[in-house]
Structure 1
């Protein structure tokens, strides 16, 4: 199997279809990207695994906010992972920190055991670690296969120097995936100048009325003041397959792996 260059994060079926139609080589399956990505529903997972041929890695995050979880939340995360494993998902995406912003090794080992042979990605909770060199060793010790990082910065471009240091420290022991703030216009330059194994992006674009009229709500047809959540009036987003194609055109294939980049 060829190394994965581009992973796309999606949180609804149309975005998944568009990402794969554009050539995405791996999918991070989520709900609520507006909250940074939460655990997708079993129905979404089942549908995604039946719909696409590329690897689908499911995020396991029971709520928004910090990454310091209660025993009850960890039990739910382990149960979700076991369900994903039974459904045939090839990978999960998790991250647990202690109250002092270190990798919670004990909790991660429980989740690693629940995942069994599935690939396990430690997500950008890593970027909140107080001591990233130590955190990297803990992530590797916990049996993670992939690390997603921006080098502790708001964007991959801003954290480029730290990501280079992380890659050097990892020395091929784990796949290093760079993400955060990746745009069509910047993806190629990031790929060429940072020695990451994989690029991660959501490439979200506005879900236009012309392209998706079935998902457009007409506010003139109701006078209610009822709301269903904090983001009722937010613009809807999806993935434009042309954006995925444009990024891939700017990512030359790599003949040798820098880390452990497989599906």
Structure 2
């Protein structure tokens, strides 16, 4: 079973590598669902670390229906990631009614080639997961990051198992959201090949300005190792 770590910083990415995770999804601003990381962060991770790095391409928080200007930004960011040597792209587009934007998603997949394309958690707001799954298979998406349309993946496990059964090895169902060493075994036992976790710990720092106590999250080496032990059946 592959563990992908959602890394929100260089330190998180480094911790994922140190702990032995297979892959990271590099992003920023996890508290709002993740956005595209900076050029500087992507460059440092790719040049200084060896871990397989997929990059989230999402220009802003909020819905997944983008203007033409935002779509151009997404395409430019994908090209930058390819030029920098990233290993995969994580993105997704919906129509105003939350169905898959087939035309523009296909364009992003073609632009991303030869890199694998993961359709992100925009999938968790589509009105019909069965239809959307078949559409993404037809488009050539390699994997779908999803919580089973629940806030936490453990609560969406029934739907996730149904999607995995429907996929029939034609696409990877990457379960994610709230997965930890406490519940990872459930996904292993359910037959998933990959899981996604931030494995975060919160760091509180005292500040002397009007921001007050500003929490910071970082992927924890200890928690990543604990998850890896669970899915390796060592505990």
Return the TM-score normalized by structure 1: 0.84
RMSD over aligned CA atoms reads 1.6
CA distance in 2, matches of 1:246, 1:162: 26
Alignment-derived partner of residue 207 in structure 1: 203
1:93 and 2:90 are equivalent in the alignment: yes
Q: Paired residue for 1:211?
A: none
Q: What does residue 174 of structure 2 align with? A: 177
Q: Deviations over 1:206-246 (max 9, x none)?
A: 126xxxxxxx4442xx5xx5x6xxxx743111121011111
* 2:227 aligned residue: 247
Q: Deviations over 1:80-110 (max 9, x none)?
A: 1011111111101001111111110011011
Q: Could you say which structure has the higher strand fraction?
A: 2
- Greater gyration radius: 1
Equivalent pairs, count: 233
Indicate the residue corresponding to 1:82 in structure 2.
79
The unaligned stretches of length 5 or more in structure 1 are 209-215, 254-263
- Per-residue Cα deviation, 1:93-152 (whole angstroms, up to 9, x for no partner): 001111111110011011112111001000111010001101001111222111111111
Give yes or no for the alignment of 1:154 onto 2:165: no
Which residue of structure 2 aligns with residue 54 of structure 1? 51
1:238 corresponding residue in structure 2: 218
CA shift, 1:252, in A, is: 2.5
1:10, distance to aligned residue in structure 2 (A): 1.1
- Confirm or deny: 8 A CA contact 2:118 2:142 kept in the other structure: yes
Matched with 1:17 is 14
TM-score using structure 2 length? 0.94
CA distance in 1, matches of 2:124, 2:191: 18
